[in-house]
Amino acid sequence: MSTGLNKTHQRRDVILASLCDYFGKSTIDNLLLCGFLRVIEKLQTDELDGISIASKIHKKTKNIVPDELATPDNEEGIIAELPHLKEGFPACPIVVRIGFHIPFVHRGAGSRHLTGNVIEFPNRDFFPKEENKTEGSLKGLVEVLKNSSQLYQLNPLKYVFYSSKHQYGIVCTLNEKSNRLEVVTVRPVRKKELPQNLWGNQWIKISGALIFPDQAASVPLSSCLQTTERKHTEPQSTKSHEDNYLDVDYTPALRNAIERAKRNLRSDANNIQGFYSKSKKIAVLVAENLSAVSAPSVLLHELGIHMAYDTFFKNKLQPIIEEAPSLLEHLVAKSDPIGLYAQSQLTLAQITKKSKGYKEEVCAYLVESCALHAVTEPSLIRWFNGLKSKTSVWLYEHGFKEVDKLSPRDLVTIAKANVKEIARQKPEVKLSPGGMEVLAEHVKAMNFKYSKITDAEPEIKTLYRKFVELEQAGKPLPKAAVVEKRTGGMQR
């Protein structure tokens, strides 16, 4: 997140013009068209997705079920039973734990997370007339499970039940100790998304295979019996198998938590210049808090570092980000303008060493500062030399002519190149991060096949298109050939 005190109230078209001047009109147009960038006039409550707010985890660990499944025969409180269908896949009950929910960042698990999701995203609520959103979210969960057609195995401990009818996936983790599949979240699957591209090729058919508890003893919804005097967040005895079950409703508590989060964010809205939403994969710039001078550096911060690190270039940026905090301390100790500016922005954003993502934020603010100040400090030069050695293959792939001659100022150029590369990515045809890693190995192999990188570009582009098609078809990507190393390499 970028913050600042600039109150020049430049209009949105002025900010867009400055971005086009700095990055090029086609780059900005593509970012806007693909949904990677938004420039808004003023920060509103519904734009606050993506800024982390802390939440607490409930201490109790009882399984949660909808009222209709709280029957005498359901002694453990399971949602459904997955029978043995194939070797290597679990055969066990599916349960929902109490869990936790963090507003606006789609982080959490269990019943609290399911409840929070339908409050934050009403379009995901299968039972909008149900006032008890805990009850409604659990009933929606059962509805998706009953219509699930496939079970995907992401790894031995993580699974997804997929319903093609509802286009939802239920993410679960396997608790090896209790041999239970515990529900993490329910996520929508967009029409353009293929389940195999999301979750891989390890899956089995499960249509009609799940076994649900006997519902004959179900009673009227317990939420209808609650009075205004009762505390909804505290368990109360239920009439359905009361020896084993307690009423529960997290709706009021989570509504209050979400409203508090909104109020806290509103109070900071006047200082927020931009932020990156991980859940939506989009950078948002706030025009009224930006100037034509500051807008490009904020976009470098949010999209050139945060989005690049979160999406296409995580592995390449990791070493740079790890070194950023110690570099910042050194720059501040020497009163270097770049370090002082970055530190002031961190302080303004209330980001400390204990904050989540601190290293990434330090790196982003250093890059933002480099875009505004001259780079002369030797330690920053050494940091950039490390960047060159760790990202040389990436630099070759993305058009940097002479890596050895790059200056510290080119740190900004790299972030700027990230912005342009993201702008070129089309959401429906982009290669996954794993696919980019495989492609990079093929490019390395070409180092011994071509004398110039420009000669290899047609083959690289052909491979990219082929890899995208293979990923969309759910097929594995071919490994790069192992070749005998020769002296020298591709030249520009």
Beta-strand pair 282-286/80-82: unpaired
Among 366, 301, 354, smallest CA distance to 327 is for: 366
Residue 444 confidence (pLDDT): 78
- Comparing 252 with 310, the larger pLDDT belongs to 252
CB distance 97 to 61 below 8 Å: yes
DSSP string, 285-332: EEGGG--TTHHHHHHIIIIIIIIHHHTT-HHHHHHHHHHHHHHHHHHH
Half-sphere exposure at residue 205, Cβ-oriented, CA atoms within 13 angstroms: 2
pLDDT at residue 276 greater than cutoff 80:
no
Mean pLDDT to the nearest integer, 443-472:
75
Worst-scoring range by mean pLDDT, 296-310, 319-333, 360-374?
296-310
DSSP string, 19-65: HHHHH-HHHHHHHHHTTSEEEESS--GGG-TT--------S------
Mean pLDDT to the nearest integer, 425-448:
73
Strand extents, DSSP E, 195-242: 203-205, 236-237
Buried b (16+ CB within 10 A) or exposed e, 204-242: eebeebbebbeeeeeeebbbeebeeeeebeeeeebebbe
The model's pTM? 0.43
Which residue ranges make up each domain of the chain? 2-49+267-424, 67-248
| 165 confidence band (pLDDT: 50, 70, 90) | very high
Residue 262 confidence (pLDDT): 62
Round to whole Å and give the CA distance between 179 and 115: 25
- CA distances (Å), origin 64, targets 76, 125, 240, 449: 10, 18, 14, 60
Residue 312 confidence (pLDDT): 54
| 302 confidence band (pLDDT: 50, 70, 90) | low
Contact partners, residue 86, CB within 8 Å, separation at least 6: 204
pLDDT at residue 55 greater than cutoff 60:
no
Tell me the per-residue pLDDT of 224-238, one tens digit each, with 9 for 90 and over: 323 323 333 444 434
- H helices within 215-307, ranges in order? 251-268, 294-299
Residues 355, 1, 278, 311: what is their CA dihedral angle, to the nearest 10 degrees? -100
Round to whole Å and give the CA distance between 160 and 187: 10
Mean pLDDT (the chain, rounded):
72
| 148 confidence band (pLDDT: 50, 70, 90) | very high
What residue has token string 């050139």? 304
- In the DSSP assignment, the letter for residue 224 is G
Among 394, 399, 475, 398, smallest CA distance to 441 is for: 394
Residue 305 confidence (pLDDT): 56
Round to whole Å and give the CA distance between 386 and 319: 9
Residue 310 confidence (pLDDT): 55
Round to whole Å and give the CA distance between 365 and 325: 11
Residue 342 confidence (pLDDT): 86
Worst-scoring range by mean pLDDT, 121-135, 173-187, 221-235?
221-235
Round to whole Å and give the CA distance between 114 and 101: 8
| 174 confidence band (pLDDT: 50, 70, 90) | very high
| 164 confidence band (pLDDT: 50, 70, 90) | very high
Round to whole Å and give the CA distance between 114 and 248: 13
DSSP string, 1-12: -EE--------H
Round to whole Å and give the CA distance between 55 and 57: 7
pLDDT at residue 329 greater than cutoff 60:
yes
Highest mean pLDDT among 176-180, 360-364, 431-435: 176-180
Worst-scoring range by mean pLDDT, 14-28, 56-70, 157-171, 326-340?
56-70
Q: Coil, strand or helix: which one is 193?
A: coil
pLDDT at residue 467 greater than cutoff 60:
yes
| 479 confidence band (pLDDT: 50, 70, 90) | confident
- Comparing 307 with 121, the larger pLDDT belongs to 121
Among 359, 418, 370, 364, smallest CA distance to 394 is for: 418
Share of the chain above pLDDT 70, in %: 61
pLDDT at residue 90 greater than cutoff 80:
yes
pLDDT at residue 158 greater than cutoff 50:
yes
pLDDT at residue 356 greater than cutoff 80:
no
Contact partners, residue 257, CB within 8 Å, separation at least 6: 55, 101, 103, 116
| 18 confidence band (pLDDT: 50, 70, 90) | confident
Round to whole Å and give the CA distance between 211 and 32: 46
Residue 260 confidence (pLDDT): 66
**Sheet-wide strand order for 37-40:** 2-3, 272-277, 282-286, 37-40
Mean pLDDT to the nearest integer, 63-81:
81
Round to whole Å and give the CA distance between 230 and 212: 31
